[in-house]
Amino acid sequence: MAALVLASVSLMLLDRGASGLVDPARDAVAEVVGPAQSSVSAAVRPVVELPESFRTRGDLRAELSALQEENADLRTRVRTDDADRHRLAEYDRLTTAAADLGRAMVPARVIGVGPSQSFSGTVTIDAGTESGIRPDLTVVNADGLVGRVIRAGATTATVLLVVDPDSTVGGRIGQSMDLGFLRGRGSLGSDARLDLELVDQTVVPHREDTVVTWGSRGGNGPYVSGVPIGRVIEVYASPRETTQRAVIEPFVDFARLDVVGVVVPSGTASDRSIVEADGSLR
pLDDT (tens digit per residue) in 48-67? 555 665 556 667 677 777 77
Residue 4: inside a domain, yes or no? no
pLDDT (tens digit per residue) in 167-226? 999 999 877 888 999 999 988 888 899 999 888 877 888 889 999 998 765 555 689 999
The whole-number average pLDDT for the span 87-112 is 89
Residue 68: inside a domain, yes or no? yes
3-state secondary structure of 131: helix
Range scoring the smallest mean pLDDT among 6-10, 56-60, 267-271: 56-60
Residue 72: inside a domain, yes or no? yes
Predicted local distance difference test score (pLDDT) of residue 209: 92
- The answer, yes or no, to whether residue 239 has pLDDT greater than 90, is no
Residue 41: inside a domain, yes or no? yes
Residue 6: inside a domain, yes or no? no
Residue 8: inside a domain, yes or no? no
Predicted local distance difference test score (pLDDT) of residue 44: 52
Predicted local distance difference test score (pLDDT) of residue 14: 62
Task: Give the pLDDT band of residue 104 (cuts 50, 70, 90).
Answer: very high
Residue 32: inside a domain, yes or no? yes
Percent of the chain scored above 70 by pLDDT?
72
pTM for the model stands at 0.69
Residue 16: inside a domain, yes or no? no
Domain span at 145: 23-282
Predicted local distance difference test score (pLDDT) of residue 135: 95
Number of domains in the chain: 1
- Reported in sequence order, the residue ranges of the chain that DSSP labels E, i.e. its strands, are 104-113, 122-125, 138-140, 145-152, 157-161, 168-173, 178-184, 194-198, 210-213, 228-238, 243-250, 259-264
- Give the number of other Cβ atoms within 10 Å of residue 116's Cβ: 17
